[in-house]
Every structure is written in C-alpha cells, then in structure tokens.
Amino acid sequence: MITGKNQIGSIKSANGNVVFRSNNPKTNTPNPWQFIEATEREVNDAVELADRAFLSFSKTSIKIRQELLNKIAEGLEDSKDVLIEVYCMESGLPISRAITELNRTVYQLRSYGAYGASEDFNKTTEDVVNGVSLRKVNVPIGPVVVFGSSNFPFAYSTAGGDTASALMAGCPVIVKGHSMHPGTGELVAEVIAKAVSSCHLPEGVFSNLNAQSYKVGQQLVMHPKVKGVGFTGSITGGRAIFDLASRREEPIPVFAEMGSINPVVFSEKELEENGSDWVKKIVKSMLDGAGQFCTNPGLIIALKGSALDKFLEEFVEVLSKQDPQCMLSASVHDSFDKLRRTQMKRKGVITLSAQRTPTELNYSQATLLKVAGVQFLEQPELQEEVFGPFSIVVECESTTELIKVIESLNGQLTGTLNCKEEETEFATAVLNALSLKVGRLIFQGVPTGVAVSESMHHGGPYPACTDSRFTAVGGDSIKRWLRPLCLQNIPNYF
Ligand code: NAP
C-alpha cells in the first residue's frame, strides 16, 4: 500500500510537513497519493542506520548477498501487478514497456548476484615478496547514496542497477527517491526492506527517502558517513552532485551516468544499398520510449550526396506517419520542446520533419534537423542533448570533414558505424576517431538496446559519465563500490 512515507530501515517514517504528489502525464492530473519529504533528522537517521549496518553487512558472505538480491527479484515478481499499474500512472509509459523494464530489473538483480558470487569476480592476488605474504582483496567502500532517473523507474531507480550492484558489493544503500515516481519507489522500497529482514540482515542495509526539493539529496551527499554516490540523469544534475561531493572535506566518488547524443555514422555505400532498411531501424531507435533513452541516436553523420538525400526523404516520410507519444512529465516535455526549438533556430539548421503540434498535452513531436558539417563545427551548442525523439543529421562535404566532426564531439556512451565490410579504410578512420570519444563502439547497428551482460560497458568519457573507467550496466558495475585492500602477513582467519 502507498502511504507516502519514507522507508528508514524497517520503519515507515513521516515526520516532515513538506508534501508533494506525482502526476499522471497522460491525463495531466495529480495522482491520488501524497508524499512527505524527509526531514533533516530523517536523512540523518537513515545515514546513521546505514553506517551502523555497514560493518556487519560488509562481512556477510557473498552467498547471503546473492540471496538478498534473489529475494528482492522474487518480491518484485510477486508484486508485479501493482508495480506496473503505479509505474504507468507515474511515467505515462505503456504497459508493455513497464513489463519489459520490470523483467530487466529482475534479471539484473539475479545476474549481478550470480556474477558477484562467482569465483571469477572474487579472484584475489597473492604473492610472497622477501618472505612477506601479500594478499590483495576488495572491500566495500561504505554507505552509498543512489539517485534514480526519471526515465527508468524500475531499472535505474530504487531497486535498479546502482542499488543491486552496491548491495552485492556489501554497501548499505540509501535511495533518494525520484520526485516523478515516488509511489513506484515506495512499493519497491517495501519489497527491498522485506527482503533485508527475511535474510536476517541489519535493517540499515536499505532506506528510501522522499524528496521534491534538492535539499534531501544534497544533505545525503554531504553527510560524512556517506562514502559513494550513484547517479543516473541529466548532465546538469550529475555535475552538480559531483561538484558537491568534491567540495566535501573528504571527497567521495560519484559515479554519474549522464547525457549522450550517440553519434551514428553512415558510409555513402551503405546508404545507397540499404538506406531504406536503416530508415526503419533508426526511426524505431529514435522513437522508442518517446526518445527518452540515454542511448537515443541524437546525431547522424554522413557524406553529402544523392544516397543521403534519398535516405532523408524516406526518413521524413516514415517519421510523419508516427503518432506522438506521451513524455515522462510536463517538465520533461516542456524542456524537450524548448530545447528542440532552440536547436531549430541555430545558424544553418534546416528542419526536415513536418511540424504538427500534438493535440494532447505532454505529447512529443519527433524532430529531425539537418546542418552542414562546417556549421556543426562552428556551433558546439548543437551537441547539447535534447532528451526526447530528436536527431540532427550532419551533412559532410568529405571524409576529412566527417572525421573532424567526430573529433569535435564531447564524450559519449556509444558511437556507431554503419558501412560495408570491405570499406576498411573508411571504417578504420571512423572507428579510430570514435574510439577516443565513446564507451561502446557499435558496427552495423543502432545505439539503443543495452544488454545486461559482463562484457557490456555503459559509460564513457565525460560528460557521458564522471568516471570513464567504470560501467553502470552489467556485473562489473559492482566494482564501483569496492576498493582494494592489501593484507600483509595478515592471518587467513581475518
Ligand atoms: P535529473 O534532473 O538530473 O535528476 C536525477 C535525480 O537527481 C533526481 O532525483 C533529481 O531530483 C536529482 N537532482 C538533479 N539535480 C540535482 C541537484 N542539483 N541537487 C540535488 N539533486 C539533484 O534527471 P532526470 O530526472 O532523469 O531527467 C530530468 C531532466 O533531465 C529531463 O528534463 C531531461 O531533459 C534531462 N535529461 C535526463 C537524462 C536521463 O538519461 N535521465 C539525460 C539527459 C537529459 P528530483 O527528483 O527532485 O528532480
């Protein structure tokens, strides 16, 4: 049942007087529940509880932590009907997406548990130097704060990848619930609290705090007993939290996965031979989830010519047949609309897509723009992420200019190349340039669709992420919450 209260360990707590509601973006009306923002005292209670739980939780066996993750997965499956209903009411996303995302979240929990408990993951390094025994192990860093995102209420929020990986590492977690989906957050938090209790773990292993203002999140980041932060969201938000954590007397790591425009490069030959197939794939990738994915293809780079002209003609035609989709909230919709209009007005930018204003509020208008390479290079503002169904096509005069365009890009989560196998010279030049900018290189594909697996890397140079060495998706994401400890001549019973 949704009570609107904070989950502090095993207790539901609501001592504050700041209240807020989530909205249903489809009906543009407030949802029925009222949430109570955590007070300064409640924030402190949650962190103190996490700190007290830390030592014993960090010493639990990896099998117990795996059991915890499995119990959370089971609890989510048992509550799936109500979870999906509230998810849809708070996000405006369709039921099919809610089901896929819930399944992904459950899979993440189980697979991180299995990988984190595997021999491979827990390998230690041991050697003897001049009669001294050295053993290097990994230990959890301490209580971790998780900021979930608006666009993944299940998979990158309360029981999402950051929470699953931190718990598997042995770090207690305090979630700063997302203000757009606090009802989904409360239900998921209840599942986690029950799993903590049924595994006989200390209650401070998990808390979930409500907040509509930034105050709660900022207090959490500044609390001296918090030792790390996981964040998924915008560049502005991630950077603000990173800066705050760096200004602490004891700076702590912030693993923020932020914005990306995910360049997709096409060779002329590829467009000539398979342009129509690519139109279908790219439109789907651009519109999935109303374009509200961090791997949305926001930038398409190709050489000027008849193959590109034909591709764009078909692109616009297919786009014109797509229905507008509901966006996550009025604020996400308004920020999308404002930003796309700003980009439409920049020097040399041509709007290719038909501009039909959707009849329903909070519905998106897919936007495709085109700009010449030289003008793209002159205006770095064109690289700003427009969160939603939006792409800019950069039309280049030559391969040299195309490479310059790639070289001018900020750090990205992904970079894609679609060309023929035999175009090795072009491919090598493009892949070399892209590899310096991205966390994942894709050949013959689209950037959306991030597999949860050990070989996945979901990260990249800044501003895609604050630390390009780590991934936010896949079992290796657990490594973010561990630090090496060298044991010199320490007896084995420790
Ligand atoms: P967000 O605004 O960055 O928020 C993520 C989380 O961080 C939320 O819990 C938010 O609190 C908190 N937060 C943000 N700025 C903060 C600050 N200065 N101090 C403390 N806490 C802060 O990301 P989002 O909610 O996913 O998306 C919202 C907007 O970001 C959208 O309009 C979208 O255009 C843009 N965006 C999102 C993504 C993405 O991948 N999710 C990518 C690019 C752009 P509240 O819950 O109180 O807001």
Is the model's pTM score more than 0.95?
yes
Per residue in 301-329, pLDDT (tens digit) is 999 999 999 999 999 999 999 999 999 99
Which residue owns the Cα nearest ligand 1 atom 25? 150
Q: State whether residue 417 is helix, strand or coil.
A: strand
Which residue owns the Cα nearest ligand 1 atom 34? 387
Burial of 380 (0-12, 13-18, 19+ CB in 10 A): exposed
Q: What is the pLDDT of residue 277?
A: 98
Which residue owns the Cα nearest ligand 1 atom 17? 237
- 335 CA distance to ligand 1 middle (Å): 12
Q: What is the mean pLDDT of the chain?
A: 97
Cα–Cα–Cα angle for 250, 252, 257, rounded to 5 degrees: 155
Reported as a pLDDT band with limits 50, 70 and 90, residue 69 is: very high
Cβ atoms of 235 and 385 closer than 8 Å:
yes
For the CA of 240, the nearest atom of ligand 1: 18
Strands 263-266 and 299-303: parallel
Which residue owns the Cα nearest ligand 1 atom 35? 234
- Under CATH, which number does the domain 263-443 receive? 3.40.309.10
Per residue in 256-283, pLDDT (tens digit) is 999 899 999 999 999 999 999 999 999 9
Superfamily the domain 6-258+467-488 falls into: Aldehyde Dehydrogenase; Chain A, domain 1 (3.40.605.10)
Cβ atoms of 395 and 304 closer than 8 Å:
yes
- 180 CA distance to ligand 1 middle (Å): 10
For the CA of 339, the nearest atom of ligand 1: 34
What are the boundaries of each domain within the chain?
Answer: 6-258+467-488, 263-443
Q: What is the pLDDT of residue 492?
A: 82
> Dihedral angle at the C-alpha atoms of 165, 167, 170, 172, nearest 10 degrees?
130
For the CA of 151, the nearest atom of ligand 1: 41
> Cα 398 to the chain's mean position, in Å?
35
Per residue in 138-185, pLDDT (tens digit) is 999 999 999 999 999 999 999 999 999 999 999 999 999 999 999 999
DSSP state of 326: B
**Pocket perturbation via mutation, ligand 1, pick of 101, 184, 234, 241 by most ligand atoms within 8 A of CB:** 234
Of the candidates 276, 266, 262, 282, the residue with the CA atom closest to the CA atom of residue 415:
262
- 213 CA distance to ligand 1 middle (Å): 12
The first and second tokens of residue 245, run together, are: 């954590």
Q: Tell me the catalytic residues.
A: 257, 294
What is the distance between the alpha carbons of residues 150 and 234, in angstroms, rounded to a whole number? Answer: 10
Has residue 358 got a pLDDT over 90?
Answer: no
- 223 CA distance to ligand 1 middle (Å): 21
Burial of 466 (0-12, 13-18, 19+ CB in 10 A): buried
CA distances from 129 to 133, 135, 137, 312, 491 (A): 7, 11, 17, 65, 16
Has residue 285 got a pLDDT over 90?
Answer: yes
CA distances from 226 to 53, 148, 315, 424 (A): 13, 17, 49, 49
What is the distance between the alpha carbons of residues 288 and 453, in angstroms, rounded to a whole number? Answer: 21
Q: What is the pLDDT of residue 357?
A: 82
Cβ atoms of 155 and 105 closer than 8 Å:
yes
Has residue 375 got a pLDDT over 90?
Answer: yes
At position 66, the amino acid (one-letter code) is Q
Q: What is the pLDDT of residue 458?
A: 98
Give residues (CB < 6 A) around ligand 1: 147, 149-151, 176, 178-179, 211-212, 214, 217-218, 232-234, 237, 240-241, 259, 294, 331-332, 335, 385, 387
Number of other residues whose CB lies within 10 A of the CB of residue 493: 4
- 217 CA distance to ligand 1 middle (Å): 11
